[in-house]
Amino acid sequence: MRPSLTKYAWLSVGAAALNFLIKLAAALVSGSVGLLSDALEAIVNLVAATIALIVLKIVERPPDVSHPFGHDKAEYFSSGIESTLIVIASLSILYTAVRRLLNPQPLEDAWLGLILATIAAVINLVVGQILIRAGKKNDSITLESNGRHLMTDVWTSVGVLVGVGLSVVTGRIMLDPLIAIIVGLKIGWDGLQIFGRSARGLMDSAIAPEEREAIETILRKSEIEEGVEWHALRTRQSGSRRFVELHLLVPGNWRVQRSHDLAEHLEADIRSQIKYSTVLLHVEPLEDERSWTDQSLYGSDAEDLVDEV
């Protein structure tokens, strides 16, 4: 069972709130639209971190009568909402930047604003790396997406800092809104990328190719050692959970206990290779023609079908 991850979500909420206050102060003292765009992005980070906290609490609920397969898929809703908020923030940044581009204004106390923005970027860098590592280790798309969102904020903050710094050094105040426009476009693209990943998860996508290959290696070994066959291997991923189903074909003269023991052994081997997995094997007799009638549903054509999609 996956350990509780809410402590990381609380860390994200705290960092996002602190970042917003620092960036807002930086924007107010400098009058920079670039820094203001960064502050608007910090609001999105705060909302996204709060949603991530709520969703992780839902995911940690045990399966129940209404949700016998658990609540893991809620993670995709979290990342979907976060991606939508990112796109909205992108549009807000672009609107503000274009207005400032048409009506340029000089920057004030820019160096103080730059110092404050740098502090905020460092906070995001540290917290973002912690969330990404925790997300990968525990297979949480919510934490990983939140961490990558913070890292996106780090790079956009660097862009804003460069834009404001060049504006101050060169006296070309137009660089500030121009950098803000680039930042807005970059944030919007990242939001669309996260949205696509969430959509694929909601569509019950198969597990990663390397994980499927690990399963097939275990099954091929059983073919050689036990003289059995298998087909109709299906997989899907729901948040951190993996679901694996397949048909195991054994000699018809085997006793039920022997077939059961082999199925239990294979399920245990697969679970040891694929973390957070639920494995279900359906045992059938090799000699019965009906055992092969469902092969066409998920047979050798399955990979070609995946490639076409």
Q: What CATH code is assigned to 6-202? A: 1.20.1510.10
Please tell me the predicted confidence (pLDDT) of residue 304: 44
pLDDT digits (tens, 9 = 90+) for 127-153: 989 998 888 888 777 787 778 778 777
Does residue 309 surpass a pLDDT of 60? no
* CATH 3.30.70.1350, domain 209-308, yes or no: yes
List, by residue range, all CATH 3.30.70.1350 domains of the chain: 209-308
- Distance between CA atoms of residues 87 and 82, nearest Å: 9
Please tell me the predicted confidence (pLDDT) of residue 306: 40
List, by residue range, all CATH 1.20.1510.10 domains of the chain: 6-202
Residue 54 parent element (H or E) = helix 33-59
* Residue 230, strand partner residues: 248
- Distance between CA atoms of residues 45 and 34, nearest Å: 17
Inter-CA distances, 216 with 55, 187, 249, 278, Å:
33, 40, 15, 16
Q: Does this model's pTM top 0.85?
A: no
pLDDT digits (tens, 9 = 90+) for 222-241: 988 898 999 989 888 776 67
CA end-to-end span of the chain: 33
* Interstrand relation of 277-285 and 241-250 (parallel, antiparallel or unpaired): parallel
pLDDT digits (tens, 9 = 90+) for 273-285: 888 788 999 999 9
Please tell me the predicted confidence (pLDDT) of residue 110: 57
Residue 218 or residue 24, greater confidence? 218
Residue 207 or residue 239, greater confidence? 207
Residues in the chain: 309
Residue 33 or residue 142, greater confidence? 142
pLDDT digits (tens, 9 = 90+) for 256-265: 999 999 999 9
- Distance between CA atoms of residues 34 and 157, nearest Å: 9
- Distance between CA atoms of residues 147 and 91, nearest Å: 22
User: How crowded is the C-beta side of 107, counted as CA atoms within 13 Å?
Assistant: 30
- Distance between CA atoms of residues 147 and 139, nearest Å: 13
Does residue 250 surpass a pLDDT of 80? yes
